[in-house]
């Protein structure tokens, strides 16, 4: 089973405003509301690709109830922990303003609720299961939470995937995560460098392996992606051709595509290509990619390779 953890899920309120003007009343010309959060996005795309998952995380208030309703509506199983106070966040994303977003804070997470969800993981996960730890955490949680979870699961053979930034990512490396997926900006931030080509990424992905990561997948937007796998093979690819419509969730879709490919064939080259196809298919779509969209991008990009 694949489990996805989203500690701070949200309702994403996506709007378009023509001629946005600060300090005055603006009216939307387009609106869309979706359950959001990196782990949830991974679950949704895996579901679209035909793989069952269980979504985990914390929910609070009427927004939490709506997130839960919409997750169920998409056919994804969930085991959310309900909080007694507070309200899950709403993120406002203004689509036609070069990525302007206003993200909510999210509720405070009591210590006993953190224990509840970690005890669930210890009890529920079995050898060979996959756990995706993705995205930011509420300010009330320690920056070591991903590391703490991996430490408690170390006796089990769990394939842990981490898609996070800064300390959340760096702290887990010594616990041998199966896969880490920074983008090239996040990777550069860890090492104080910038990248302008796929080849420049490779030695720094290898440095993450030296720190403990088994496989390092680096998304680079229009520059494509890089995978340094645990067998020592370096995979480089340019980005599939297409028109970017909505990049939100593209990185999460890449994680989902990689896991789908790995689960299907246990072959890193295929998993890498599936990750690229899924990430690009979502970027080329208004919503997260469907199976047909992923297959189309894969066929058009990789069928002749």
Asked if the structure places residue 23 within a domain, the reply is: no
Residues 187 and 164 in one domain: no
Q: Which of 152, 177, 202 is the last residue of a domain?
A: 177
Asked if the structure places residue 198 within a domain, the reply is: yes
Which pLDDT score, from 0 to 100, does residue 119 have?
Answer: 93
In the predicted structure, residue 65 carries a pLDDT above the cut 70: yes
Residues 139 and 269 in one domain: no
Residues 225 and 239 in one domain: yes
Check 12, 129, 163, 252 and give the catalytic one.
252
pTM, to two decimals = 0.93
Which pLDDT score, from 0 to 100, does residue 136 have?
Answer: 86
252 is annotated as an active-site residue: yes
Asked if the structure places residue 64 within a domain, the reply is: yes
Number of domains into which the chain is organized:
2
Residues 60 and 190 in one domain: no
Q: Which of 177, 201, 218 is the last residue of a domain?
A: 177
Residues 91 and 187 in one domain: no
CATH number, domain with residue 6 = 3.40.1190.20
Asked if the structure places residue 19 within a domain, the reply is: no
What are the tens digits of pLDDT across the range 34-49?
998 999 999 999 999 9
How sure is the predictor about 304, in pLDDT bands with cuts at 50, 70 and 90?
low
Which pLDDT score, from 0 to 100, does residue 139 have?
Answer: 84
Residues 3 and 138 in one domain: yes
In the predicted structure, residue 97 carries a pLDDT above the cut 80: no
Residues 8 and 153 in one domain: yes
- When pLDDT is averaged across residues 95-119 and rounded to a whole number, the result is 87
Asked if the structure places residue 145 within a domain, the reply is: yes
What are the tens digits of pLDDT across the range 219-270?
998 899 999 999 999 999 999 999 888 788 899 999 999 999 999 999 999 9
DSSP the chain: -EEEEESS-EEEEEEEETT--TTS---EEEEEEEEE-HHHHHHHHHHHTT--EEEEEEE-HHHHHHHHHHHHHTT-EE-PEEPSSS--EEEEEETTSSSEEE--------HHHHHHHHHHHHHH--TT-EEEEES---TTS-TTHHHHHHHHTTTS--EEEEE--HHHHHTTGGG--SEE--BHHHHHHHHT---SSHHHHHHHHHHHHHHT-SEEEEE-GGG-EEEE-TTS-EEEEPPPP---S--TTHHHHHHHHHHHHHHHH--HHHHHHHHHHHHHHHHTSSSSPPHHHHHHHHHHHHTT-
Residues 228 and 137 in one domain: no
How sure is the predictor about 129, in pLDDT bands with cuts at 50, 70 and 90?
very high
What are the tens digits of pLDDT across the range 156-213?
899 999 999 888 899 999 999 999 999 999 999 999 999 989 999 999 999 999 999 9
Q: Which domain, by its residues, includes 112?
A: 1-14+30-177
């Amino acid at each position: 089973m694949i489990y996805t953890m989203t500690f701070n899920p949200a309702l994403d309120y996506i709007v378009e405003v023509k001629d946005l003007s600060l300090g005055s009343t603006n009216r939307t010309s387009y609106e869309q509301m979706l359950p959001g959060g990196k782990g949830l996005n991974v679950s949704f795309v895996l579901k679209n690709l035909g793989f069952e998952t269980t979504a985990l995380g914390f929910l609070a208030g009427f927004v939490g109830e709506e997130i839960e309703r919409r997750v169920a509506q998409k056919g994804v199983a969930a085991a959310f922990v309900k909080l007694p106070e507070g309200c899950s966040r709403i993120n406002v994303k203004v689509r036609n303003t070069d990525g302007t977003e206003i993200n909510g804070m999210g509720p405070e997470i009591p210590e006993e609720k953190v224990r509840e969800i970690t005890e669930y993981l210890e009890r529920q996960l079995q050898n060979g299961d996959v756990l995706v730890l993705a995205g930011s955490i509420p300010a009330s949680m320690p920056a070591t939470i991903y590391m703490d979870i991996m430490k408690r699961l170390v006796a089990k053979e769990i394939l842990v995937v981490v898609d996070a930034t800064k300390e959340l990512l760096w702290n887990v490396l010594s616990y041998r995560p199966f896969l880490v997926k920074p983008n090239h900006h996040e990777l550069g931030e860890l090492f104080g460098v910038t990248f302008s080509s796929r080849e420049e990424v490779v030695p720094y992905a290898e440095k993450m392996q030296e720190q403990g990561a088994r496989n390092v997948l680096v998304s680079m937007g229009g520059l494509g992606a890089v995978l340094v796998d645990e067998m020592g093979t370096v995979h480089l690819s340019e980005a599939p051709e297409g028109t970017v419509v909505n990049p939100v969730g593209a990185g999460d879709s890449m994680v989902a595509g990689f896991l789908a490919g790995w689960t299907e064939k246990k072959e890193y080259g295929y998993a890498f290509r599936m990750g690229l196809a899924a990430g690009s298919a979502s970027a080329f779509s208004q919503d997260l990619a469907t199976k047909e969209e992923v297959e189309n991008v894969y066929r058009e990009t990789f069928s002749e390779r």
